[in-house]
Chain A
Amino acid sequence: DAMVIQNPRYQVTQFGKPVTLSCSQTLNHNVMYWYQQKSSQAPKLLFHYYDKDFNNEADTPDNFQSRRPNTSFCFLDIRSPGLGDAAMYLCATSSREAYEQYFGPGTRLTVT
């Protein structure tokens, strides 16, 4: 089945230690999104890729970076995680014309 996959599902990292979260999709969608969802809050868009074009939200901290080496894969890099970066990170995809965004299962990040 076509889907959005996120690895790992749970990630523990130390304060200040770089971490990379992975997202892959078999839907061949143009657009890939990364959302951050802190406990008891709504998801918030960090950035998105339209094909290879990277688009950062204005309030996304510089500590967060992303890479999209091909259509199928997208990575979220947190260069120096702080305790405040502990959250669920959700990857989503959509085709340009689609109304719906398809979400992966999320990666729950813990910072110790």
Chain B
Amino acid sequence: AQKITQTQPGMFVQEKEAVTLDCTYDTSDPSYGLFWYKQPSSGEMIFLIYQGSYDQQNATEGRYSLNFQKARKSANLVISASQLGDSAMYFCAMRGVLYNQGGKLIFGQGTELSVKP
């Protein structure tokens, strides 16, 4: 069975500093995708970054980068130069197999990030 684990229920970071949010995963599928989503208090899920299991390089999107260590089954999110607007819940997710018709997302429990001014 596929599983995502986020061990940090809450994190604090000073504005303008970098922060790493941890994510480990478990799957027996040779091909999979890993995602990070941001969920502000308003509730919408905002896609941040994607990493494919066969991608040779770590994914980057602006201030977001994904530290992908396949052998360790980890996919940590790094946010550089934190901003007050980064305060939110962050979910790591894995794309599961869904009858080969797209893929459902299996989410971790989330990490609540608070950015201090």
Give Cα A35–Cα B104 distance, bound, in whole angstroms.
Answer: 10
The residues in A between 53 and 78 inclusive whose CB is less than 8 angstroms from any CB of B are 53, 55
How near does chain B come to A9, taking the closest CB pair, in angstroms? Answer: 8
CB contacts (< 8 Å) of B12 on chain A: these are: none
**Chain B contact residues: helix, strand, loop or mixed:** loop
Give Cα A90–Cα B107 distance, bound, in whole angstroms.
Answer: 13
Q: How many A-B residue pairs have CB under 8 A?
A: 64
**Chain A contact residues: helix, strand, loop or mixed:** strand
The answer to whether B45 touches A103 (Cβ under 8 A) is yes
Give Cα A99–Cα B36 distance, bound, in whole angstroms.
Answer: 12
The answer to whether A45 touches B45 (Cβ under 8 A) is no
CB contacts (< 8 Å) of A33 on chain B: these are: 104
The answer to whether B44 touches A106 (Cβ under 8 A) is yes
The answer to whether B44 touches A105 (Cβ under 8 A) is yes
How near does chain A come to B86, taking the closest CB pair, in angstroms? Answer: 18
The answer to whether B99 touches A50 (Cβ under 8 A) is yes
CB contacts (< 8 Å) of B109 on chain A: these are: 41-42
**With contact pairs A90-B45, A105-B42, A108-B43 given, residues A45 and B101 touching in the complex (Cβ less than 8 Å):** no
26 contacts between A and B (CB under 8 A): A30-B102, A31-B102, A33-B104, A42-B91, A42-B109, A43-B105, A45-B104, A45-B105, A48-B102, A50-B101, A55-B99, A88-B43, A92-B105, A94-B103, A95-B102, A99-B50, A99-B52, A100-B35, A100-B47, A101-B105, A103-B37, A103-B46, A105-B44, A106-B43, A106-B44, A106-B45
Binding site for B on A (CB under 8 A): 30-31, 33, 35, 41-45, 48, 50, 53, 55, 88, 90, 92, 94-96, 98-106, 108
